[in-house]
Structures are given as C-alpha cells and as structure tokens.
C-alpha cells in the first residue's frame, strides 16, 4: 500500500518536474529568440552608413524588436547644420515623422542618465508629437560629453517603463545609438563637402550636373516643366584687377547669397565655373524662369556690395541666360537633354552679354 503511494507521489513529482523543465526550455527558447532579434537589430544599427538607414532602423525596426508603440529620435541642431545637409542631399524630412529637432528653449529633459516612468505631457509632448504613450524611456545621447539628441521610447503599457527598472540595457543602447548617429552625420557631412563649393558654400558643378540629370529624368517621366538659368557676373575680371582677388571672392559669395534668396527650397543653385552660376528651376516654364531671372538680376544690381578695405561699395551686375524644356524631349537621353538645356542657356547668356550686360535673355 505504502509503496503504491510512494510510486504515485514520485510520478506526480516527476510530471511536475517535467512540466517545469518544459517551461524553462520554452523560456530559454523565447530568450534566445529575443537575443537573436536584439543582435540582428544591433548589427543593422551599427551597419547604418547613411542617415536614411539609421532613421529607418530606429523608428521602424526598433519598435518591432523591442515591442514598443513608438520610437522617436530628436536631434540637437540649433544652427540647422544637419537639416541643411539633409536638405542639400535631398533627404526630405517629411518622410520621417519620427525624426525631430529640439527647440533651443524646449522643456528641461534629462541630460545624463535615461529617465523611465509615466508619460508627462508638458515634459514629453515635444518628443512624441504623433502618439501619446502611457510610459516612456527618455535616453539622452551624448558624444564627447556633449548632448547630441534623445532617443525616446514609448509604450502603450503603464508598467513597461517604471522608475525602479534597471537601466543598464538601455544605457548601452543609448551609447550604441549615439556612436552610430555621430558616424552617420559625419558620413553625410563628408558627402556634402564633396558636393559643395568651398568658397561660396553653394553646390558645386558635380552636384548641379548630377541633380540636373535626375530632375530631367523626372521631368521626362512626369512631363513637367524644367528650366535653367546660366548666370555670369559682368566684368568680373575688373573687380579682381582693381580690388584684388580677395575682394573678388567676397563679391562671389555675396552674389551667391543674393541668388539663393530669390529661390524656392526645391530649386538648386550651383557654382558652375569661376564667376558662373547655374540655377535649376523645377516645375518652372520659360516665363517663370524669366520672372525669377529678372528678380535675381535686380537684386544684384539694386544694392552695391560692401567690400572690406574698399572706400566705396562696388556696383556689380549679372547677365542671365534662361532656357526651358517644357516638358523635356523624351526621345533624348537625360544626359543629352541636360547638355542641350545648358547649351541653350549658355547661348542666351552670350546674347545677354552681347546686348550690353545686366540683362536677362531667353533661349529659343
Ligand atoms: N576672385 C576670384 N576670381 C575668380 C575666381 N574664379 C575665376 N575668377 C576670375 O573671374 C574672371 C573672369 O573673367 P572673364 O571670363 O574675362 O569675364 P568678365 O571679366 O566677367 O567679363 P564678362 O563675363 O564678359 O562680363 C577672371 O579674372 C578670373 O580670374 C575665384 O574663385 N575668385
């Protein structure tokens, strides 16, 4: 009798142990899956060499990997450096609603350690403009003792991020994200430098030719208008000869600034040669181009340019040739169409010079 009871008890204990073992194995399997997901995430993050990759990894892959409703990345960019680079590299900010830029006088967010806890509207709304989570982890991202941004994790569950949770894991995550972010921004900066004219800060010839090719391709597909202005400073040699090369450089910079002021964000300005600039106007007919060219001509001519060391401001003028393809000929390759557009604008510029300078002439 006793031995039957013992056997029964042993069987039950055995079953219980077996069930516990199954649970442990199941837990181990889940943990291994989580680890693999985290490792895959780390590799994607570390492998990001472009801004697009990093933002997509942070705002799309991270919520999946960590079971979160939202992840945003907010950058310190008070001087608009990063935004300017992204704009010039044609990375549209509208594409990334979870990429944010901090306001200089924004709320007092943590500067060193991550903070975890319930969502507080006053404090956190700028980090979560599109979704209001129940609990949040705000991770300051720092490099070389400087704050470069925040990674903000949001969960729909109140208990997900609480003040007493260990933060080792997310501190490590913040360090990896900060290093990757710095890397990616440096990479994009380098790319930008390679496409920028160092004297005037506007795009260089390589960029404008590349951009033109892309825009012509798009205009050919969409059958939209595209125009180009060829701008040349009049008698620029005299400026150099009379006031020196340094003053010539000042004039080039000021002319570039004045041209840029007359353009929309979607237009591109490039320094094409010594004292020549090219402007690419998207969705613009020849009439639009003429109007914009006239505005540029007037803005250069209207106000003399102050030059360091010269007694009086310099009266400078520009001549402009405008050409348009409305829409670009689809039988030509984008490269041929680009060359034709530039050649037509150049020919119109020649007529503007011949006609007495300080004027706009249209191709065609
Ligand atoms: N300061 C400065 N001068 C430059 C630079 N690149 C080219 N130049 C000068 O630009 C001048 C261009 O002169 P030209 O092509 O003869 O033309 P222009 O004097 O402007 O005369 P028009 O175009 O006929 O009105 C030359 O003196 C070049 O040395 C630069 O980066 N800085």
In the chain, CATH 3.30.70.270 covers: 205-362
Closest CA to 148 of 113, 117, 107, 177: 177
CATH number of the 47-193 domain = 3.30.450.40
Is residue 154 lining ligand 1, measured as CB closer than 6 Å? no
ipTM over 0.90: yes
CA 352 to chain centre: 37
Closest ligand 1 atom to the C-alpha of 245? 1
Which amino acid residue places its CA nearest to atom 28 of ligand 1? 237
Is residue 253 lining ligand 1, measured as CB closer than 6 Å? no
What is the average pLDDT value for the chain, to the nearest integer?
Answer: 91
- List, edge to edge, every strand of the sheet that includes 268-271: 268-271, 276-282, 226-233, 318-325, 360-362
Rounded to an integer, what distance in angstroms lies between the CA atom of residue 100 and that of residue 80? 12
Closest ligand 1 atom to the C-alpha of 248? 1
Rounded to an integer, what distance in angstroms lies between the CA atom of residue 211 and that of residue 126? 35
Relative to beta strand 99-101, strand 70-75 is parallel
Per-residue pLDDT tens over the stretch 185-220: 999 889 888 999 999 999 999 999 989 998 998 888
What pLDDT, on a 0 to 100 scale, did the predictor assign at position 1?
A: 52
Q: Which residues are catalytic, by number?
A: 275
Torsional class of 302: left (φ above 0), alpha (ψ -120 to 50), beta (otherwise) = alpha
Which amino acid residue places its CA nearest to atom 24 of ligand 1? 235
User: Of the CATH numbers 3.60.40.10, 3.90.1150.10, 3.90.120.10, 3.30.70.270, which one belongs to the domain with range 205-362?
Assistant: 3.30.70.270
Closest CA to 323 of 230, 236, 251: 230
Per-residue pLDDT tens over the stretch 19-50: 999 999 988 888 788 788 888 888 888 888 88
Q: Is the pTM of this model over 0.90?
A: no
CA angle 106, 111, 112 (to 5 degrees): 165
Closest CA to 209 of 195, 219, 192, 191: 195
Per-residue pLDDT tens over the stretch 133-145: 999 999 999 999 8
In the chain, CATH 3.30.450.40 covers: 47-193
Give φ, ψ of 167 to 5 degrees. -110, 5
């Amino acid at each position: 009798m006793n031995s039957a009871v013992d056997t029964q008890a042993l069987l039950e204990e055995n079953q219980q142990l077996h069930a516990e073992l199954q649970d442990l194995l199941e837990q181990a399997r889940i943990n291994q899956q989580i680890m693999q997901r985290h490792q895959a995430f780390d590799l994607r993050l570390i492998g990001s060499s472009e801004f697009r990759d990093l933002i997509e990894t942070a705002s799309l892959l991270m919520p999946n990997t960590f079971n979160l409703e939202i992840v945003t990345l907010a950058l310190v960019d008070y001087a608009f450096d990063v935004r300017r680079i992204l704009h010039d590299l044609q990375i549209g900010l509208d594409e990334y609603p979870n990429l944010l830029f901090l306001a200089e006088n924004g709320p007092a967010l943590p500067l060193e350690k991550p903070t975890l806890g319930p969502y507080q509207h006053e404090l956190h709304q700028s980090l979560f403009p599109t979704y209001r989570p129940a609990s949040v982890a705000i991770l300051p991202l720092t490099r070389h003792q400087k704050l470069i941004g925040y990674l903000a994790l949001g969960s729909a569950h109140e208990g997900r991020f609480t003040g007493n949770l260990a933060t080792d894991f997310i501190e490590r995550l913040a360090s990896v994200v900060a290093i990757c972010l710095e890397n990616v921004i440096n990479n994009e900066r380098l790319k930008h430098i390679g496409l920028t004219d160092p004297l005037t800060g506007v795009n260089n010839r390589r960029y404008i030719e590349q951009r033109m090719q892309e825009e012509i391709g798009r205009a050919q597909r969409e059958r939209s208008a595209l125009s180009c202005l060829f701008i040349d400073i009049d008698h620029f040699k005299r400026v150099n000869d009379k006031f020196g090369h340094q003053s010539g450089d000042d004039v080039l910079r000021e002319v570039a600034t004045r041209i840029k002021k007359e353009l929309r964000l979607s237009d591109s300005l490039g320094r094409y040669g010594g004292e020549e600039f090219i402007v690419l106007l998207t969705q613009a007919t020849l009439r639009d181009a003429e109007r914009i060219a006239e505005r540029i001509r007037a803005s250069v001519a209207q106000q003399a340019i102050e030059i360091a060391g010269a007694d009086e401001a310099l009266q400078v003028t520009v001549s402009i040739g405008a050409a348009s393809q409305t829409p670009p000929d689809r039988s030509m390759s984008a490269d041929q169409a680009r060359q034709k557009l530039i050649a037509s604008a150049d020919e119109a510029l020649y007529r503007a010079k011949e006609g007495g300078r300080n004027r706009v002439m249209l191709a065609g």
